[in-house]
Chain A
Amino acid sequence: MESTIVKSVDYNAYFGENHVVKNVNIEIPRNNVIAVMGPSGCGKTTFLRGINRMHELIPGATAKGKIMLNNEDVMEMHPIFVRLKIGMVFQRPNPFPNLSIYDNVIAGYKLNGIKLPKAEKDKIVEHSLTRVALWKEVKDSLTKKGSFLSGGQQQRLCIARAVAMEPEVLLFDEPTSALDPISTSTVEELFHELKKNYTLIIVTHNMQQAARVSDKTAFFYMGELVEYDDTKQMFTNPRDTRTQNYITGRFS
Chain B
Amino acid sequence: MTNHVKYRIGKSAAFKTLTIVLAFACVVPLIFILIYIIQAGITKINWHFLTNLPKPVGETGGGIANALVGSMIIISVASVIAIPFGILCGIYLSENRKSRLAYWSRLCVDILQGVPSIVIGIVAYFWLVKPLGTFSALSGSIALAIMMLPIIIRSTEETLKLLPDSLREAGFALGLPFHRVVLKVIVPCGISGILSGVMLSVARIAGETAPLLFTAFGNPYLSVNILKPMQSLPLLIFNYATSPYNDWHDLAWGASCILLIWVLTLNIFTKLMTRKWKVQL
CB within 8 Å of B: which residues of A?
52, 54, 57, 59, 80-84, 87-88, 90, 92, 94-98, 107-108, 111-113, 145, 147, 158, 161-162, 165
A-B contact pairs, 21 of them (CB 8 A): A57-B172, A80-B175, A82-B175, A83-B172, A83-B174, A83-B175, A84-B175, A87-B174, A90-B166, A90-B169, A92-B166, A95-B170, A96-B170, A96-B189, A97-B281, A107-B174, A111-B174, A112-B174, A112-B176, A161-B170, A165-B174
CB within 8 Å of A: which residues of B?
98, 164, 166-167, 169-177, 180, 184-185, 188-189, 279-281
Does more than half of chain B's interface fall in helix, strand or loop, or is it mixed?
Answer: helix
Say whether A80 contacts B177, CB under 8 Å: yes
CB of B58 to closest CB in A, whole Å: 60
CA distance A107 to B175 in the complex (A): 10
Say whether B184 contacts A54, CB under 8 Å: no
CA distance A94 to B185 in the complex (A): 12
CA distance A98 to B169 in the complex (A): 15
CA distance A133 to B267 in the complex (A): 47
Say whether B175 contacts A81, CB under 8 Å: yes
CA distance A88 to B171 in the complex (A): 10
Say whether A111 contacts B173, CB under 8 Å: no
Say whether B166 contacts A111, CB under 8 Å: no
7 nearest A-B residue pairs (beta carbon): A83-B175, A88-B173, A84-B175, A94-B166, A108-B174, A111-B184, A94-B170
Among A52, A82, A107, A111, the most chain B Cβ lie within 10 Å of the Cβ of: A111
CA distance A57 to B184 in the complex (A): 18
Residues from chain B with Cβ under 8 Å of A145 in the complex: 280
Say whether A94 contacts B167, CB under 8 Å: yes
Q: Which among B98, B173, B185, B188 is the interface contact of A54 at CB below 8 angstroms?
A: B173
CA distance A97 to B177 in the complex (A): 19
CA distance A90 to B166 in the complex (A): 8
Q: Which among B166, B173, B189 is the interface contact of A98 at CB below 8 angstroms?
A: B189
Say whether A161 contacts B174, CB under 8 Å: yes
CA distance A165 to B171 in the complex (A): 13
Residues from chain B with Cβ under 8 Å of A95 in the complex: 170
Residues from chain B with Cβ under 8 Å of A98 in the complex: 185, 188-189, 279
Say whether A165 contacts B175, CB under 8 Å: yes
Residues from chain A with Cβ under 8 Å of B166 in the complex: 90, 92, 94
Residues from chain A with Cβ under 8 Å of B176 in the complex: 80, 111-112
Taking A80-B177, A98-B189 as contacts, is the C-beta distance between A59 and B170 under 8 angstroms?
Answer: no
CA distance A232 to B275 in the complex (A): 54
Residues from chain A with Cβ under 8 Å of B175 in the complex: 80-84, 108, 112, 165
Among A57, A82, A97, the most chain B Cβ lie within 10 Å of the Cβ of: A97
Q: Which among B169, B173, B185 is the interface contact of A162 at CB below 8 angstroms?
A: B173
Q: Return the chain A residue nearest B98 by Cβ.
A: A59
Residues from chain A with Cβ under 8 Å of B173 in the complex: 52, 54, 83, 87-88, 90, 162
